[in-house]
Amino acid sequence: MRSLLALVFLCAASITQAASANFTFPSIDGGDISLSDWRGQPVLVVNTASRCGYTRQYDGLQALYETYRDAGLVVLAVPSNDFRQELGSNEDVKEFCEVNFGLEFPMTTITPILGDTAHPFYKWVKDEVGFQPGWNFNKILIAPDGRVAATFGANARPMSRPITSAVTAFLD
């Protein structure tokens, strides 16, 4: 009986952990961004906004990406207007980020992250670990196996020790 329960638990855990790899976002560059493309790599998902006091964190996110991308880290920006601080269109967001920050990491289109209209990824994170962004620039680290490895609030700077330590734990 114990071995049967252990098998059921392992199967359920595998399904849950693999779930994050199945989410797709519309890309700000056109087409889709699928988390399954980065299976086996750590992915830092960050809800962003162009008119937020934390917008300067784009510099830190770019530095984090440049530092660890060759080792496998992906940073994914998810612009959202849920806190009413995003620009009016995807084109405006893309231009703002390119001109002011020279971002090279992937970015989605403007995406709801809260409530009934939240993107399924954010609903999944809330169901899995009880984490829901309380403001812009909250960070969710997805482990290479697809589980939520860590979450960080808006105050956590991208190059801070808590984030870099969590990220490097999953790099080659």
Mean pLDDT for all residues in the chain? 90
More confident residue, 10 or 147: 147
Pairing type for strands 24-26 and 43-48 reads unpaired
Instruction: Provide the residue range defining the domain that includes 34.
Output: 2-168
In this predicted model, what pLDDT tens digit does every residue of 12-58 receive, in sequence order?
444 444 455 589 999 999 999 999 999 999 999 999 999 999 999 99
Banded pLDDT at 11 (limits 50, 70, 90): very low
Amino acid 20: pLDDT = 54
Report pLDDT for 22. 85
Q: Give percent of the chain above pLDDT 90.
A: 87
Residues 110-134 have pLDDT tens digits of 999 999 999 999 999 999 999 999 9
* pLDDT given for residue 7 in this prediction: 40
Are 148 and 123 in contact by the 8 Å Cβ rule? The answer is no
Q: How many domains does the chain have?
A: 1
- Which whole-number Å values give the CA distances from 1 to 10, 14, 142, in the listed order? 14, 20, 33
pLDDT band at 150 (very low <50, low <70, confident <90, very high): very high
pTM: 0.88
Q: Which of 44, 46, 52, 110 is catalytic?
A: 52
The predicted structure's pLDDT at residue 18: 46
Query: How many CB atoms lie under 10 A from the CB of residue 104?
Result: 12
Does residue 97 have an active-site annotation?
A: no
List the CATH number of the domain containing 79: 3.40.30.10
> What percent of the chain lies above the pLDDT cut of 70?
87
Could you give the angle at the alpha carbon of 127 between the alpha carbons of 126 and 130, nearest 5°? 50
Would you place residue 3 in the very low, low, confident or very high pLDDT band (cuts 50, 70, 90)?
Answer: very low
